Structure 1
């Protein structure tokens, strides 16, 4: 199927952001933004769980319970991500790389399912990763699943309200092209946050 022309720049933006974030976490190099490769060491578990300020929201063993101001741990399995029902705490809790990365991966995986899959997965079905390597692999898989969903979208799908039935956002009320844009900005801004946290972690060690 021919990709609709208006989807092409959004796909290119997604690909660049996805590949850059994956490289920033997994190494051995990452695109500096101008085509120059910069050496990067793989994300460690210590960085993944690093809490730079008190009261962070993170990923935790279910047996340990939620963190400060969280009411529960969302997800399936032995690990969960700090969460609370709306209205969310004010000011918003600072979130770790673990929180931000599993949030991204869950969003990509579930939105792919609610676009071209079973249309049934919820946050309670998503297995939260308890280590950095597993989280990077989950992000890679989620990004690839979402990209496959995009490649199946024609112009009619892009204009269809509720083409994505993802239940944790406004997707059922939005044209699909708006959802595509939203996912890109989520990837861009959380990717930038993760990169900055890696820089801060490295700088504190001198």
Structure 2
């Protein structure tokens, strides 16, 4: 089945964003932006859970309870993601673990609510507690989302509520708008994760010393 013309650039953008994020997480290199490969070490568990400021939201063991400002740890298994609605304002800074889990859950959930059993819930999603598990979960979810999109024709792209994912506006939106939204989620959270990796590598904040001193 051929990909609709208006879907093709969104799929290409997703592919680029996904590859760049994965390379930024596991290396061995990432494109600097001008074609030069820059060495990247694999994400460690310490970095995955690093909280650069007080009051961060992260993923935590259920036995330890929610972090500051959170009212619940969402997810199944040993670990959960800080959450609670309505979200506090201003929004808390979130760790790499939180952002990566958010992306993976969103992608897995939307894949299921597009062509799967329409049964995915945040509460039943198993939250990864280590860097390796977090990256692997993201990769699986990204592949699942990419695969279901290849079966979307123009009629599906125009259908309102084709995705029934319950944690967004999907039920009120044409599928093409959901596809666009997922791309921007990947791109902006991917950029945030890359920045956190830069800050972690720079060191002073991790050691409790203000930057620039």
Measured in 1, the distance between the counterparts of 2:140 and 2:34 equals 26
The runs of 5 or more residues in structure 1 that have no matched partner are: none
Q: Which residue pairs with 1:131 in the alignment?
A: 130
Measured in 2, the distance between the counterparts of 1:37 and 1:116 equals 38
How many corresponding residue pairs?
Answer: 205
Deviation digits for residues 48-72 of structure 1 (CA, Å, limit 9, x no counterpart): 0000100100000000000001000
Measured in 2, the distance between the counterparts of 1:78 and 1:176 equals 34
Do structure 1's residue 57 and structure 2's residue 57 form an aligned pair? yes
More helix by share: 1
TM-score by length of 1: 0.97
Query: 1:204: Cα distance to partner?
Result: 1.3
SS in 2 for 1:69: coil
SS in 2 for 1:82: strand
Q: Which residue pairs with 1:21 in the alignment?
A: 21
Query: 1:120: Cα distance to partner?
Result: 0.8
Measured in 1, the distance between the counterparts of 2:165 and 2:33 equals 32
Measured in 2, the distance between the counterparts of 1:13 and 1:161 equals 23
SS in 2 for 1:162: coil
Query: 1:90: Cα distance to partner?
Result: 1.2
Q: Which residue pairs with 1:159 in the alignment?
A: 158
Do structure 1's residue 186 and structure 2's residue 185 form an aligned pair? yes
Q: CA RMSD in A?
A: 1.1
Deviation digits for residues 164-195 of structure 1 (CA, Å, limit 9, x no counterpart): 00000000000000000000000000000000
Query: 1:34: Cα distance to partner?
Result: 3.6
Query: 1:36: Cα distance to partner?
Result: 3.0
Measured in 1, the distance between the counterparts of 2:36 and 2:163 equals 36
Query: 1:145: Cα distance to partner?
Result: 0.3
Measured in 1, the distance between the counterparts of 2:159 and 2:33 equals 34
